[in-house]
Amino acid sequence: MLVNNLKTSLLSGGIAVIIFSIGFSIFAFNSNLEASDKSSGENKKQVVVKNMTPNWVRPGDQELKKTLTKLQFDVTRKDATERPFKNKYWDNKAEGIYVDIISGEPLFSSKDKYKSGTGWPSFTTPLVASNVTEKEDNTFFSKRTEVRSKNADSHLGHVFNDGPAANGLRYCLNSASLRFVPKEQLKEFGYEKFTFEFEKGQ
C-alpha cells in the first residue's frame, strides 16, 4: 500500500513538473518575442498597407522579414502568440477597420470590437467573412479553432464559442497580425467602400 501511494505521488509530481515546464517555456518564448519586437521594431520602417489588388501575391518569407518586425513575422508566419495586455490594439477604442498586416485585406471592424477582458483585441464577427478562414488547431493539449486570413494566410488568432453577441462567437486576435485604418483614412488607403460602417445611424 505504501509503495503504491509512493508511486502515485511520484507520478503526479512528474506530471506537474512537465506541465509547469511547458507553461514556463511558452511564457518565456512569448516574453522573448515581445523583447525582440521592441528591439528590432524601433528601426524597422513602418510599411503602409493599402487594400490589396486582385492579382496580389504574398511575398516570400525572406522579403517579409525585411518589412515586418520579428514579432509580426513570428505571429503571422510561425503561428506565435503575443502577450496579453502588452500589444498594440487590445484597448484601442478608435473607429476604423482592421486589415491584414501583410496583404491589407479587410478583416474586422471596430463596430464589432468589444472588451473581452482577455488582453487581446476581440471581435464578435468579421467585417468580410470570406477573408477569414478557419482551421482545426490541436496544439498545447487542446482542441481549438484557428483563424487565418484567406489571401496572406496569416495566423490571426482563434475563435471561441463564448462571445456576447447573438452568434456566440469571440474572435480573439493578435495585434501583430493587424494594421488599423482609422475611419478618416479609409478612402486614402483604398477602403472607401467601408465608410458606410461609420455613417450616422449605422
**The C-alpha cell that represents 63 in the structure block:** 522579403
Residues classed as catalytic: 172
For 10-63, the DSSP string reads HHHHHHHHHHHHHHHHHHHHHHHHHHHHHHHHTTSPPPPP-PPPTT--PPPHHH
Residues in the chain where the model's pLDDT stays below 50 = 1-47
pLDDT digits (tens, 9 = 90+) for 11-39: 444 444 344 444 444 444 444 444 344 43
Quickly name the fold that domain 2-198 has: 2.170.150
